[in-house]
Chains A and B, each alone.
Chain A
Amino acid sequence: MKQFGIFIQKELFHIFRDRRTLLILLGMPIVLVLLFGFAITNEIDNARIAILDQSKGEMSQKITQRLLASGYFLIDENLREVAEIEQHFREGKTKMAIVFPPELQENLRRNLPTQIQLIADATDPNTATTLINYASAIIGRYVQDQGRGQAMPLQIHTEVKMLYNPRLKSVFMFVPGVMTVILMLVSAMMTSIAITREKELGTMEVLLASPLRPAMIIIGKVIPYILLALANTVVILMLGAFVFGMPIKGSLFLLALECLLFVITSLALGILISTRTESQQVAMLISLMMLMLPTILLSGFIFPIESMPLALQVISNIIPAKWFIIILKNVMLKGTGVEFIWKESLILGGMALFFIGASVRNFKIRLE
């Protein structure tokens, strides 16, 4: 046990003396959460729109007022003719244009179907879709309000309630995502680098020829990174909770356990990588290409898995991060207990066992 303590002390020396890496490991989660929370957002705020009002009636005025009152839109300019629309988009002055047709007033009064044209700049498809949805919703509500009291055939009101994230804050998505990426980075990439460093420098051989047992060497190497990963988790959760008002509705204990489970899965992956590689550079490249990229792209962190092609959806199942993000969202946002996430937890646990088994196998083969 004393040997083990000395080993961990040595690991801590390595970590604390490499100031630059330590700074990156501690600083990155903070930067990422703040960046994703503040700068990268899918929410629409004061988007500039242009209006071409050919009807020049009361109706179009009121609709325009409604749009402005929502706070989502700002009028950039009132256009006079159709030709100006494209000119405006080309100059990049506006994100969306609304065209009220001349017959708008008349048609609405007579209860005839009528059309308002919404034109959006789809060079940025996500924003375009969001703008159109917001505008359609506002116009739709206005029309419904107008129709109230009159006999209208088949009126259906949809009442929308956004559960668990009523204000559709994107930071609720990013906090679990960033946490996943950071834990993967610290646990998998850093341990794989730390272990291959000993191999590259030749100290691993000396350790293996010493009375320290191989399992002790590996466990001793990963424990400091478990601590580092858990410290990062706490920082990210605090930032999420206190800066962005991200709730943690479920049990903190359960959350901590699940984080530990994911850390162990990632560590196992890191160890597996280190058993297959001889140099730090290779370990880093493999970690980046085979772990970080899929974690960011295929886990549902940034791109929804449901809208991926079938092949990628299938692949996403073997990515631990996908399951961890589901677990995080359940525990943090929905406040569900273990009864709803045991399946995902089992999958993660199974992956961890598989990776540990594979590493033990590889480690032995390497020693042959």
Chain B
Amino acid sequence: MVPAITADKLTKKFGDFTAVNQITFEVQKGEIFGFLGANGAGKTTAMRMLNGLSRPTSGQASVAGFDVYRETEKIKKHIGYMSQKFSLYEDLTVRENIQFYGGIYGLPGREIRHQIKELIGGLGMQEYANTLVKAIPLGWKQKLSFSIAIMHRPEIVFLDEPTGGVDPITRRQFWEMIYKAASEGMTIFVTTHYMDESEYCGRVSIMVDGRIAALDTPRALKEQFGASSMNDVFLQLTRPNQHGS
């Protein structure tokens, strides 16, 4: 089986600064792959190279079997993306946002109408269907964003810190949605800096200063570092000196 994502010594430099330094990994189909790291560790840059927003400086990578240098347009048809910033239009209603994103991903009108019903019903947002997005609570917005990002049934969905600023209950519900999508065969590539969330992932990579410092299942990582939680693992990796003293 072809992996959903492969990266081989993928590197991105901005002038003298190396944001992403020779990262190598594979993500299997249907996997929930956690991409962890402190702010500025290079997570977002790495993700942007994979979803075609940024051209790598060197190294190889493929997404859904397509090359990130030559086939970005094909990649874009096979992925969903939820950016770090909120990605819905505030001055459009919930229904119009669904219509818009369905439309630009080329879903036929019948399918879009079906999705509107399905999606709004699934989220229990009937009362908000014709409300401007700016008027609905943040938790709803995040769940809606995710539903829209996977509306066109992409093979792989990239989530860039999707749960920033939402309450624990919504985060929980959000992860349930992620699990459901993964159980349907979707590959999930998610960045986060909430360490407790990384426990939900199948495998986790931890980036430190542009490099992948560790990559395994949460359980194996905890064993390897003799830590009780992913938080400990992360602290050992990012601040080894302080930990030793």
Interfacial residues, chain A to chain B (CB-CB below 8 A): 2-3, 5-7, 9-10, 13-14, 17-18, 201-203, 205-213, 367-368
Contact = CB atoms under 8 A, between A and B. Distances in A.
Interface string B51-94: 11111000000000000000001001101011111111111100
Majority SS of interface residues in chain B?
Answer: loop
Q: Among the interface residues A14, A18, A208, which one has the most CB atoms of the partner chain B within 10 A?
A: A208
Given A211-B76, A211-B106, A367 B87 contact: no
A203 B104 CA distance: 13
Contact of B85 (A6, A9, A201): A201
Q: Which of A3, A205, A209 has the most CB of B within 10 A?
A: A209
Interface string B122-133: 000000000010
B205 to A, nearest CB: 21
Nearest to B149: A206
B104 A205 contact: no
22 contacts: A2-B106, A3-B103, A3-B106, A6-B103, A9-B100, A10-B89, A13-B92, A14-B89, A14-B91, A17-B91, A17-B132, A201-B85, A201-B86, A203-B89, A205-B53, A207-B104, A209-B76, A209-B81, A210-B104, A211-B105, A213-B73, A367-B55
Contacts of A5: 103
B87 A211 contact: no
Contact of A209 (B51, B84, B132): B51
Contact of B104 (A13, A18, A211): A211
B53 A367 contact: yes
B99 interface: yes
Contact of A210 (B76, B89, B158): B76
Given A210-B105, A211-B105, A368-B55, A6 B73 contact: no
A5 B81 CA distance: 22
Contacts of B91: 13-14, 17-18
Contact of A211 (B77, B90, B99): B77
